[in-house]
C-alpha cells in the first residue's frame, strides 16, 4: 500500500525536470546502428526540409517524438523513417532521443563560434540579421534543452564516443549533416 508520503515523493519526482536516468544511453552498438542508417536517411531526406523544427523544453522523449511527428507535414516520409528506424532495432522515440544526443557534442563544439557570430551580427543588414538571430536562438534553445536532458550516464557515454561522433560529422561533410534541418540552416536565410 502507498502511504501519503510515498505518493507525495513520487509526485515530486515526476514533476522534477532534471533527468534521473537516461532512457537510452549511447553505446557502441546503437551508435553502430545510427551510423549504418545515415546513408539511408540521407536518401530519404532528398526533399524540402521542415525548417520550423522545434524541440520543446522538456526531457520526455516520447512527448518529443509526438511533437516532432505533429510538426512533420509529409506523413509518407514519416512512415519511411519509422520503418527504417525499426529495421535498425530502435523505436521512433529511441531514435529521436539518440539522434538528438549525438548532435550534442557537435553543438557543444560550435558554441564559441556561435557567440562570436552573435556579436558580429551588428554589422549585418537588418533583414539578414533578424533571420540569423532567429536561427541562432533556435539553435541555442535546442542546445540548452539537450544539455538539460543529459544525465551523468549520458555525459560519460558522450565523452567516450566524442571522437567518433566528430569523425562521423566530418565524413558527412560537416556539422550541418548531424543537426536537425531548422538548426542546420542557421544563418542561411
One digit per residue, the tens of pLDDT, for the chain of length 189 reads 323 332 222 222 233 333 434 568 889 999 999 899 888 888 877 655 555 566 778 888 889 888 888 888 888 888 998 999 999 999 999 988 998 898 899 889 888 888 888 888 888 898 888 888 888 888 888 899 999 999 999 999 999 999 998 888 777 655 554 544 444 444 443
Q: What is the CA radius of gyration of the chain?
A: 18
Counting Cα atoms < 13 Å in the Cβ hemisphere of 45 gives 15
pLDDT at residue number 183: 45
C-alpha torsion 39→162→98→24, nearest 10: 140
C-alpha cell at position 51: 525548417
C-alpha cell at position 62: 516520447
User: CA 183 to CA 162: how far, in whole Å?
Assistant: 20
pLDDT at residue number 180: 46
What is the Cα 116 distance to its own chain's centre? Answer: 23
C-alpha cell at position 93: 522515440
What is the Cα 82 distance to its own chain's centre? Answer: 17
What is the Cα 4 distance to its own chain's centre? Answer: 38
pLDDT at residue number 49: 57
End-to-end Cα distance, the chain: 58
User: CA 135 to CA 176: how far, in whole Å?
Assistant: 13
User: CA 127 to CA 105: how far, in whole Å?
Assistant: 31
Amino acid at each position: 500500500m502507498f502511504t501519503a508520503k510515498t505518493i507525495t515523493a513520487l509526485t515530486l519526482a515526476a514533476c522534477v525536470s532534471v533527468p534521473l536516468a537516461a532512457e537510452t544511453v549511447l553505446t557502441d552498438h546503437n551508435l553502430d546502428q545510427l551510423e549504418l542508417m545515415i546513408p539511408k536517411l540521407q536518401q530519404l531526406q532528398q526533399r524540402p526540409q521542415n525548417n520550423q523544427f522545434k524541440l520543446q523544453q522538456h526531457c520526455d522523449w516520447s512527448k518529443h517524438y509526438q511533437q516532432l511527428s505533429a510538426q512533420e507535414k509529409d506523413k509518407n516520409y514519416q512512415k519511411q523513417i519509422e520503418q527504417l528506424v525499426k529495421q535498425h532495432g530502435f523505436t521512433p522515440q529511441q531514435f529521436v532521443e539518440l539522434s538528438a544526443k549525438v548532435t550534442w557534442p557537435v553543438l557543444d563544439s560550435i558554441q564559441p563560434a556561435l557567440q562570436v557570430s552573435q556579436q558580429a551580427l551588428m554589422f549585418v543588414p537588418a533583414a539578414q540579421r533578424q533571420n540569423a538571430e532567429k536561427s541562432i536562438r533556435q539553435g541555442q534553445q535546442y542546445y540548452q534543452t539537450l544539455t538539460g536532458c543529459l544525465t551523468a550516464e549520458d555525459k560519460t557515454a558522450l565523452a567516450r564516443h566524442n571522437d567518433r561522433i566528430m569523425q562521423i560529422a566530418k565524413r558527412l561533410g560537416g556539422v550541418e549533416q548531424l543537426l536537425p534541418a531548422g538548426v542546420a540552416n542557421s544563418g542561411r536565410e
